[in-house]
Amino acid sequence: MVAAIKRPGWIRGALGAVLGAAFGFGLVVALRKASGLPAFQTEQTGYPQVVVPLISGPLGFLLGFGCFDYWLRWAVGMPTIPEDHSQHGAKSWKDYFRFNTDHKVIGIQYICTTFFFFFIGGLMAMLIRAELAQPGTQIVDAGTYNSLFSTHAVLMIFVFVIPVFAGIANYVLPLMIGAPDMAFPRLNALSFWMLPIAGLLFVGSFLAPGGAFDAGWTGYAPLSTGAPLGQSFFNLGVQFAGASSIATALNFLVTIITMRAPGMTFWRMPLLVWANLSTSLLVVAATPFIAGAQFMVLFDRALHTNFFQFAGGGDVISYQHIFWFYSHPAVYIMMLPGFGIISEVISTHSRKPIFGYRLMALALIGIVVLSYSVWAHHMFVAGMFSWLRVPMMITTLLIAVPTGIKIFSWLGTLYFGKIHTYSTSMLFALAFIVTFTIGGISGVMLGMVPFDIHVSDTYFIVAHIHFVLFGGSVFTIFAGIYHWFPKMTGRMYDEKLGRVHFWGTLVGTWGTFIPMHWIGMDGMPRRVADYAAQFGDWNLLISCFAFFLGAVQLVFLYNMVVSWRFGPKAEANPWRAKSIEWLVSSPPPIFNFDEIPRVVGGPYEFGVPGARHAIMAGEGAEVEAPTPSVVGS
């Protein structure tokens, strides 16, 4: 027992959580007593006796779980434990539930955790659609409805789309650049373990008095500053998700910049690597803004700081500026890694080099730069300084240009190729091009101020966001999961079930989200539990498609679980791709490479006679000097 408590793990983690929470609770009560205040404060925005333990409890868990063991010993001058790699790699399923520093284990931890929250968020979407199937309120009351759509959005954004990309990249990216691991494996593990904490805080807010946070995922002040306790769960969950995100982005940046295999110049990096470089640049600079915004709301709630209290001299609209200065770049954080996945899948399955590789990479950087200058297009009707609308409109429309370059370059890649559509990943990639084009077009329309004035905060917005985030990001996530499933698990998935999942998802997506454009333009506002009877038929149809879309995801779940356990063994390179992760076994050996590979050409040299991307250890002798090519020079 004593040994179990001393050893990092779940028992010590649970003990840490309890001690941490008790410490926070005790601190609040003691300080309040010392100040002559009643021990507990139960105004709806306050509850310091709950809020402080919500910070100290998770920190206690991380400490107990072993996330800080190595650093703490070093920091206090104790002899550090020699690295014996006992925390590295997975020999059984139990190792996935430990503090593990192997990027491949962490990648799978990320993906499984995020899909867990994807299905919880999806169930909430089903409840939302059940309520909206008919006008009037039938299933949940208006307050619960507000909690449901707020939590749905927050789970999908903060603990599904953003981190699942971090998970896929965690697994694939070090392999792709020929690195044995990420630059900071312990930081990587810490990043992951902050994520379930964020998710549990979001879901756990349903237990708070007054219910889960209900001010939307945007949490606009002053609705959020006056909301019940659940809002504080949101404020704190964002801190953990945000810290996780920032640490991972930093890790990716250092890994990409310093750990590429010899010969991998910037212009020889696969586009997935470029995409994660761009995304990480956005995350490190933008995420502190949402962390700040949520701390300011929390302080307004608990400490009466009046950042956003107009009666106390605060400025209401400044919340939106700070929030969107993160949250607009965030939509690119949720899209750029997907662009990278699509480039890998389309090039591989059309047996063609990416068309205009350099422009594709530059388009990513262009999006990064422009995305910092468009945030106020979310605020065209918010009552901000009126003239600001025009420059924000121009930059917003201009950002369609680099996005268009990507669409056209993917199409160009298909021409004169040998297109294979047997893999589900390629089906999702091809459908993504069309679906994302629709989301892009409605995005350009929303960028035009006069039209935006009409449809802002209507179902048109709901349609647009789901076309870009579901038809866009989630399609790319599925493409990526199917593409690297053999590499990650060493097993093949069932393509027949994959096709059922694909066609069901495609029909479900279009059926659910296309009519939302129409009812939005025709006058249905968003975020309402009840609506005018004239929209009843469309909403019933939308709900039916949504239930179908939800049900089809179970096919995916079944396929993944059963194939992981029983699927036929995968060979090293089932898609005959060129990048380095396919040149090692499936799944790769514990430290990825016996010897670091040598990169000798571009990543997509399909059809170039004799061209190689990388030379693995032990095969250097028999390979001739690589043929120079346009890209790999």
- Among positions 512-531, residues that touch another protein (CB under 8 A) are 518, 521-523, 525-531
Instruction: Give me the least distance between CB of 199 and another protein, in Å please.
Output: 23
- Per the structure block, which two tokens stand in for 136? 């009037």
353 is an interface residue for another protein by CB under 8 A? yes
Using CB under 8 A, pick the residue from 381, 554, 561, 617 that binds another protein.
Answer: 381
Q: How far apart are CA 631 and CA 611, in angstroms?
A: 11
Q: How far apart are CA 100 and CA 111, in angstroms?
A: 15
167 is an interface residue for another protein by CB under 8 A? no
Instruction: Give me the least distance between CB of 149 and another protein, in Å please.
Output: 9
Using CB under 8 A, pick the residue from 209, 568, 589, 607 that binds another protein.
Answer: 607
Query: Cα 605 to chain center, whole Å?
Result: 30
606 is an interface residue for another protein by CB under 8 A? yes
Instruction: Give me the least distance between CB of 77 and another protein, in Å please.
Output: 52
Q: How far apart are CA 512 and CA 217, in angstroms?
A: 21
Non-local (6+) Cβ contacts of 559 within 8 A are: 493, 494, 497, 498, 501
* Upstream peptide bond of 196 is cis (omega within 30 degrees of 0): no
570 is an interface residue for another protein by CB under 8 A? no
Total residues belonging to the chain: 633
Instruction: Give me the least distance between CB of 587 and another protein, in Å please.
Output: 25
Do 527 and 467 form a contact (C-beta atoms < 8 A)? no
Non-local (6+) Cβ contacts of 165 within 8 A are: 276, 279, 333, 334, 337, 338, 477
In the complex with another protein, which residue's Cβ is closer, 72 or 434? 434
**What amino acid occupies position 565?**
R
Instruction: Give me the least distance between CB of 304 and another protein, in Å please.
Output: 17
Using CB under 8 A, pick the residue from 506, 546, 608, 616 that binds another protein.
Answer: 608
Instruction: Give me the least distance between CB of 467 and another protein, in Å please.
Output: 12
Q: How far apart are CA 340 and CA 338, in angstroms?
A: 5
In the complex with another protein, which residue's Cβ is closer, 254 or 449? 449
Instruction: Give me the least distance between CB of 440 and another protein, in Å please.
Output: 8
Using CB under 8 A, pick the residue from 39, 112, 207, 434 that binds another protein.
Answer: 434
Q: How far apart are CA 435 and CA 428, in angstroms?
A: 10
Minimal CA–CA distance to 261: which of 581, 597, 584, 577? 597
- Per the structure block, which two tokens stand in for 544? 């039916």
Instruction: Give me the least distance between CB of 379 and another protein, in Å please.
Output: 9
Q: How far apart are CA 61 and CA 477, in angstroms?
A: 30
In the complex with another protein, which residue's Cβ is closer, 27 or 414? 414
Mapping DSSP onto H, E and C, the string for 516-574 reads HHHHHHCCCECCCCCCCHHHHHHHHHHHHHHHHHHHHHHHHHHHHHHHHHHCCECCCCC
Query: Cα 447 to chain center, whole Å?
Result: 24
Write the binding mask 198 to 237 for another protein: x where contact by CB under 8 A, - elsewhere.
Answer: ----------------xxx---x-xx--x-----------
Applying CB under 8 A, the span of 77-85, 87-95, 192-200, 390-398 interacting with another protein comes to: 390-398
Instruction: Give me the least distance between CB of 218 and another protein, in Å please.
Output: 8
Mapping DSSP onto H, E and C, the string for 292-347 reads HHHHHHHHHHHHCCCCCCHHHCCCHHHHHHHHHHHHHHHHHHCCHHHHHHHHHHHH
Q: Where are the beta strands (DSSP E) in 94-227?
A: none
Using CB under 8 A, pick the residue from 357, 484, 493, 513 that binds another protein.
Answer: 357
Do 241 and 159 form a contact (C-beta atoms < 8 A)? yes
Within positions 304 to 323, which residues make up the interface with another protein, using CB under 8 A? 310-311, 314-317
In the complex with another protein, which residue's Cβ is closer, 57 or 417? 417
Minimal CA–CA distance to 162: which of 194, 137, 186? 194
Backbone angles phi, psi at 212, to 5 degrees: -65, 160
Within positions 530 to 569, which residues make up the interface with another protein, using CB under 8 A? 530-532
Within positions 137 to 166, which residues make up the interface with another protein, using CB under 8 A? 141-143, 146
In the complex with another protein, which residue's Cβ is closer, 262 or 312? 312
Do 494 and 567 form a contact (C-beta atoms < 8 A)? yes
B/e letters for 431-450, b = 16+ CB within 10 Å, e = fewer, are bbbebbbbbbebbebbbebe
Applying CB under 8 A, the span of 42-50, 369-377, 439-447, 592-600 interacting with another protein comes to: 439-447
Using CB under 8 A, pick the residue from 404, 490, 536, 574 that binds another protein.
Answer: 404
Using CB under 8 A, pick the residue from 301, 328, 389, 598 that binds another protein.
Answer: 389
Using CB under 8 A, pick the residue from 166, 183, 190, 405 that binds another protein.
Answer: 405
394 is an interface residue for another protein by CB under 8 A? yes
Within positions 457 to 516, which residues make up the interface with another protein, using CB under 8 A? 457-458
Beta strands 598-599; 614-615: pairing state: antiparallel
Instruction: Give me the least distance between CB of 434 and another protein, in Å please.
Output: 6
Q: If binding means CB under 8 A, how many residues of this protein chain bind another protein?
A: 95
Give CA angle at 512 (507, 515), nearest 5°: 115
For residue 611, CA distances in Å to 67, 116, 360, 501, 601 come to 44, 42, 21, 36, 7
387 is an interface residue for another protein by CB under 8 A? yes
Instruction: Give me the least distance between CB of 625 and another protein, in Å please.
Output: 18
Instruction: Give me the least distance between CB of 307 and another protein, in Å please.
Output: 12
In the complex with another protein, which residue's Cβ is closer, 312 or 620? 312
**What amino acid occupies position 240?**
F
In the complex with another protein, which residue's Cβ is closer, 48 or 402? 402
Instruction: Give me the least distance between CB of 230 and another protein, in Å please.
Output: 13
266 is an interface residue for another protein by CB under 8 A? no
Q: How far apart are CA 493 and CA 505, in angstroms?
A: 17
Using CB under 8 A, pick the residue from 445, 500, 514, 540 that binds another protein.
Answer: 445
3-class SS of residue 277: helix
Applying CB under 8 A, the span of 56-64, 167-175, 378-386, 491-499 interacting with another protein comes to: 378-386
Using CB under 8 A, pick the residue from 14, 22, 284, 400 that binds another protein.
Answer: 400
Using CB under 8 A, pick the residue from 5, 31, 39, 411 that binds another protein.
Answer: 411
In the complex with another protein, which residue's Cβ is closer, 252 or 375? 375
